[in-house]
Chain A
Amino acid sequence: MRRYLVRKLTIYFLTFFLAVTIDWVIPRFMPGNPVQTMLSRVALRAEAVEVLRGYYIRAFGLDVPLWEQYLNFWRAVLRGDLGVSVYLFPKPVSRVIAEAIPYTLGLLVPAILLSWWAGNKFGAFAARRKWLDNTLLPLGYFLTATPYMWLGILLAWGFGVALGWFPIAGGYGFGLTPHLSWTFVGSLLRHWFLPFASLFLVMFGGWAIGMRNLIIYELEADYAQYLESLGAPRRLIRSYAFRNALLPQITGLALQMGTIAAGAVVTETVFSYPGIGLLLVQAIQNQDYFLIQGCFLFIIIGVLVANLLVDLAYLVVDPRTRRGMVGEL
């Protein structure tokens, strides 16, 4: 168990290190000069441009040798100082991100957990049942192949524009300010539902299909056939198969985190939902480099934490990992 955890933590630590390094390297070594881009956005007199250039170079810390810039970057990251947003000047990037986090988590956590649970249950139920398998699984393949943004657009069009049941933009009503009241919470929920539903549906398709395929493998396994020849009830065999098939699905959850994060980015963009994803897209459109760096870093940290949680869950579910019987995953 210790070996398993040490191995996983090493990988996460290396990933974090690499991600921060990438975050530092890309603005500096890519073709194109962020400082120049930002200067060209403000049409000023020549001397003002020079003053501003000096400010940006100091703000980015570009006036010291590269290795020192790198160390400074690490120091700032570890202190949680991600610079000041240009697009939402003069808010610090860490505050901008902190305000967006609740929306993203509120969207993603229920969508991930519910779709995983429902998808697995449904997939296990549909496996080897001819009628369900042939009618609903093509739908599952279609769902999991759907680009997140397109399903979002489709739902927004159907339920938002055509039927008018749900609003299609924003995190809460335009006329409201965040406060604790039934009107506000109601508005929050109504805005939350469609982005949640589109994330849920795409993920649901993936889990259902994954589970269905795994159950079919499991039902072919020796233990299942042995049980069957003993005359065990089908329900019992299926429940054993389900528990075995759940393990790869847990690993799959960790592997899917990156894709899910990407799905959240585009879904939030479709619905102008004020989470990290929309923030990142706005930062890119406004070439707010500090904010881009900050959002990237936050997404990496989020994915790493999620991976760690999945690993811990795996330890709880599979006793073999605890005893060190499974070498690596």
Chain B
Amino acid sequence: MKENKPRRIKNEFLYFALRNRKLRLGVSIVLVFVFLAIVGPYFTPYDPWAYVGPPARPPSRTFWLGTTMFGQDVFTQFVYGLRPVFLVGILGGGLATFIGTMIGFLAGYRGGWVDEVLNTFTNVVLVIPTLALLLIIAAYLGVRSFFMQALFIGCTAWPWTARAVRAQTLSLKAREFVDLARISGMSPWRIILTEIAPNMLSYLVMVFILQFGGAILNAATLDFIGLGPTRGISLGLMIQIALLWGALPLGMWWWFIPPGLTIALLVGALYVTNVGLDEVFNPKLRET
């Protein structure tokens, strides 16, 4: 009997996960882009920066998404630019989730002055407009890389996560099983990691998905302002370059629509996945 119980719960989760339309839609869109990012570059013979064709041509059979002002292949730039989107999203979002979760756990579980200090700090960072901060940091850095971008985004995007995790920890802390663990002499971090964290795992997964999407949007914004990585290509950089070289008045829609549409679809799909997961985890929200 005891053996059976966890399996039943898992099956129930899978059952609702596979039946949930929002989850299926969101995950499929994300997977399509993951697939494109992985195999896309093998389908194009060109280099993203090489001048390979006549300039400013609309999509055709040789150039699937047309060419830029300078005769670079937009499709090539697009598939290469998709990779850093996932890189920055996963690293930046992951880092933000990690920092936020740790601070939230610590503040919520310890309480007292630790909570007071951490909570005030969280609220202060929460009010500072992240992007303005990222802008001035990036403006003073001469050479920038994708990893640095992810690092900065991760270090500034964590506050709302810390607050949410803290609130959850506070409510879980009052439960009997945590008291029991404390009486049995477990160390605070063990209690947090083995007793509290597993109970909010579903929540943490959802937080990561939201942070993932947020990091993608932040990175695109930085790239667009011209503070993206100094080397390499990303979707945000494509939009920036397109606007800079007058794609708008020239009506070269094939240059700026695919990268922006992809970001919107990808981040939107992440949000929809999040709602789907919420419905799977929380029976009250399931559609009848």
Binds A, one of B8-16, B193-201, B267-275: B267-275
Whole-angstrom CA separation of A148 from B132 in the bound complex: 15
The binding surface of chain A is classed by DSSP as helix
- Which among B133, B140, B253 has the greatest number of chain A C-beta atoms within 10 A? B140
Chain A proximity mask over B252-286: 1 for CB below 8 Å, otherwise 0 = 01001101110111111111100100000000110
Contacts of B260 in A (CB 8 A): 146-147, 149-151, 153-154
Across the interface, do A146 and B124 meet the contact criterion of CB distance under 8 Å? no
| A281 lies within 8 A of B226 (CB) | yes
Please name the 4 residue pairs, one residue from A and one from B, whose CB atoms are nearest each other, closest first. Answer: A150-B260, A262-B131, A258-B129, A145-B267
Question: Is A69 close to B, CB under 8 A?
Answer: no
* A141 on interface, CB distance cutoff 8 Å: yes
Task: Tell me whether A266 and B225 are in contact in the complex, defined as CB-CB below 8 angstroms, given that A26-B136, A32-B142, A257-B129 are known contacts.
Answer: yes
Convert A151-173 into 0s and 1s, putting 1 for each residue whose CB lies closer than 8 angstroms to a CB of B.
10110110011100000100000
B266 cross-chain contacts in A, Cβ below 8 A: 145
A262 touches B128 (CB 8 A): no
Per the 8 Å Cβ criterion, residues 179-206 of A in contact with B are none
B39 at the interface (CB under 8 A from A): no
Contact B265 A149 (CB under 8 A): no
Count of A residues near B, CB < 8 Å? 63
Q: Does A108 contact B (CB under 8 A)?
A: no
Q: Is B249's CB within 8 Å of the partner chain A?
A: yes
What would 11 more interface pairs be, CB under 8 Å, given A12-B127, A151-B260?
Answer: A15-B128, A22-B133, A141-B275, A146-B260, A146-B268, A150-B256, A150-B260, A153-B256, A262-B218, A284-B139, A295-B132
CB proximity of A301 to chain B, nearest CB, Å: 11
Residue A285 interfacial (CB < 8 Å): yes
Q: Per a CB cutoff under 8 Å, which of B133, B253, B270 touches A157?
A: B253
Given contacts A153-B248, A261-B131, A299-B129, contact A23 B267 (CB under 8 A): no
A residues 201-226 near B (Cβ < 8 Å) are 209, 213, 216-217, 220
Q: Pick the contact of A299 from B132, B225, B236 — CB < 8 Å? A: B132
Q: Does B224 contact A (CB under 8 A)?
A: yes
Chain A residues with a Cβ under 8 A of chain B: 10-12, 14-15, 18-19, 22-23, 26-27, 30-32, 34, 138, 141-142, 144-151, 153-154, 156-157, 160-162, 168, 209, 213, 216-217, 220, 255, 257-259, 261-262, 265-266, 269-270, 280-281, 284-285, 287, 292-293, 295-296, 299-300, 303-304, 307
- Name the residue on A nearest B279 (C-beta): A216
Interface flag for B215 (CB, 8 Å)? no
Shortest CB–CB separation between residue A23 and chain B, in angstroms?
Answer: 7
Pick 5 A–B contacts, CB within 8 A, sort by A.
A145-B264, A146-B260, A220-B284, A258-B129, A281-B225
Query: How far apart are A207's CB and chain B's nearest CB, in angstroms?
Result: 14
A14 and B117 CA atoms in complex are apart in Å by: 12
Q: Which residues does chain A contribute within 8 Å of B275, judged by CB atoms?
A: 141, 213
Which residues of A have CB within 8 Å of B272? 138, 141
Bound-complex Cα distance A148 to B218 (A): 11
- Give the shortest distance, in Å, between A27 (CB) and chain B (any CB): 6
Q: Is the CB of B129 within 8 A of A300?
A: yes
Cβ–Cβ < 8 Å partners of A149 in chain B? 220-221, 224, 239, 243, 260
- Greatest chain A CB density within 10 A among B135, B139, B224 is at B139
Per-residue 0/1 for B205-244: is the Cβ within 8 Å of any A Cβ (1 yes, 0 no)?
0000000010001101100111100000000100100010
Tell me, rounded to whole Å, the shortest Cβ–Cβ distance linking A81 to chain B: 19
The answer on a CB contact under 8 Å between A258 and B226 is no
Bound-complex Cα distance A233 to B226 (A): 55
**Within 8 Å of chain A (Cβ to Cβ): is B50?**
no
B124 and A14 contact, CB distance less than 8 A: yes
Interface residues of B: mostly helix, strand, loop or mixed? helix
| B271 x A153 contact (CB < 8 A) | no
- Residue among A144, A266, A304 making CB contact with B127, cutoff 8 Å: A304
- State A157–B261 Cα separation when bound (angstroms): 14
B248 near A157 with CB under 8 A, answer: yes
Least CB separation from A280: chain B residue = B135
- B217, A11: Cβ atoms closer than 8 Å: no
Cα separation A216 to B267 with both chains bound (whole Å): 23
Among candidates B127, B218, B248, B256, residue contacting A168 with C-beta atoms closer than 8 Å: B248
B120 partner residues in chain A, CB cutoff 8 A: 10-11, 14
User: For the complex, what is the distance from the CA of A247 to the CA of B140, rounded to whole Å?
Assistant: 40
Question: Which of A147, A156, A217 has the most chain B CB atoms closer than 10 A to its own CB?
Answer: A147
Given contacts A150-B264, A168-B248, A220-B284, contact A262 B140 (CB under 8 A): no
Q: Which residue of B lies closest to A262 (CB)?
A: B131
A contact residues around B249 at 8 Å (CB): 161, 168
B141: interface (CB < 8 Å) = yes
Complex contacts, B243 vs chain A, CB 8 Å: 149, 153, 270
Q: Determine if B123 is an interface residue (Cβ-Cβ < 8 Å).
A: yes
A296 CB to closest chain B CB (Å) equals 5
A121 CB to closest chain B CB (Å) equals: 21
Pair B251/A262 contact, Cβ less than 8 Å: no
* Given A146-B260, A262-B131, A296-B136, A11 and B226 contact (CB-CB distance below 8 Å): no
Contact A32 B141 (CB under 8 A): yes
CB within 8 Å of A: which of B130-156?
A: 130-133, 135-137, 139-142
